[in-house]
Amino acid sequence: MMTARSVAMTIEQVAVRFGGLVAISDMSFTVGEGEIVSLIGPNGAGKTTAFNVMTGFLTPSAGRVTYQGTTLTGLKPHQIADLGLIRTFQRTSVFPNDTVYDNLLIGLHRQGRVRLLDAILGLPGARASERRLRQRASELIEWVGLERRAHDAAGSLSYGEQRLVGVALALAAEPSMLLLDEPVSGMNASETHRFVELIRDIRGRGITILLVEHDMPMVMTVSDRIVVLNYGRIIAEGTPDVIRNDPAVIEAYLGHGAARA
């Protein structure tokens, strides 16, 4: 059982209703500091809805979410991001005509502390800040393994590589917890393998990870714990071995071949 001190996020009896439709019903689980937890389930199970609740894009009909002791329910997405809770999205958005490097610079400038007038006048503080941002952009590109594509137009990258740009932009916000929404969608087997190593490296640097993903071999490889949703309800929670052999999960989602995978 996790101690209160080790819990990063707590989801307590969260429900989401759209009129008569129940998207999530009485969802409760925790994510521990430094854990990699996966949220899985069939299409329409409520996974992305859960992410939207956690990150302030959707207000739950009932229940609450807390992060490091702060209640998130009712906060705006930018206020939640300021707490260190950063997410990626299923749909990757890049500036296609700009290089990967410039995409990162744009993302980093949005977080800059330099006043516009200082930057226009080229004052020493602004120049030093610009050097730091450029160094940070290079570090982030190398971190996600795109250094060979740094000066290519982002629009020329494969879909999987563009998703890595999205992860780099999320890391630019210096998260303490990262929520990844289907991060390996569109990646081939070798790209997925490298992404698993990236996730482990991110966790190794002290960042907690919660991910939604349909790639079950990847989920089983990388997760400390897995939470399974079906029709908006949690039907199972546990280690990959527990989930792999859970009859309710096999019936609802994994299929009978999963137990042998």
pLDDT tens for the chain, residues 1 to 261:
444 448 999 999 999 998 888 899 989 999 999 999 999 988 888 898 999 999 999 999 999 999 999 999 889 999 999 999 999 876 677 888 899 999 898 888 765 554 544 555 555 666 677 788 888 999 999 999 999 999 999 989 988 888 899 899 899 888 999 999 988 887 888 889 999 999 999 999 999 999 998 889 999 999 999 999 988 899 999 999 999 989 888 887 766 444 433
Task: Give the tokens for residue 69.
Answer: 């002791």
- Strand-pairing partners, residue 233, are 230
Give CA–CA dist 52/43, Å, rounded: 16
Q: In terms of Cα–Cα distance, which of 182, 100, 95 is closest to 144?
A: 100
- The confidence score (pLDDT) of residue 222 equals 95
Alpha-carbon distance 23 to 14, whole Å? 10
pTM listed for this prediction? 0.84
Domains of the chain, CATH where assigned? 4-93+178-260 (3.40.50.300), 95-156 (no CATH)
Of 144, 143, 149, give the one whose Cα is nearest residue 102.
149
Cβ count within 10 A of residue 187: 20
Please give the pLDDT value at position 195: 92
Strand pairing class (7-18; 21-32): antiparallel
The tokens for 163 are 């998703």
- Please give the full DSSP string across the chain, using - where no structure is assigned: ---GGGEEEEEEEEEEEETTEEEEEEEEEEEETT-EEEEE-STTSSHHHHHHHHTTSS--SEEEEEETTEE-TT--HHHHHHTTEEE--SS----TTSBHHHHHHHHHHTT----HHHHHHT-HHHHHHHHHHHHHHHHHHHHTT-GGGTTSBGGGS-HHHHHHHHHHHHHHT--SEEEEESTTTT--HHHHHHHHHHHHHHHHTT-EEEEE-S-HHHHHHH-SEEEEEETTEEEEEE-HHHHHT-HHHIIIII-TTGGG-
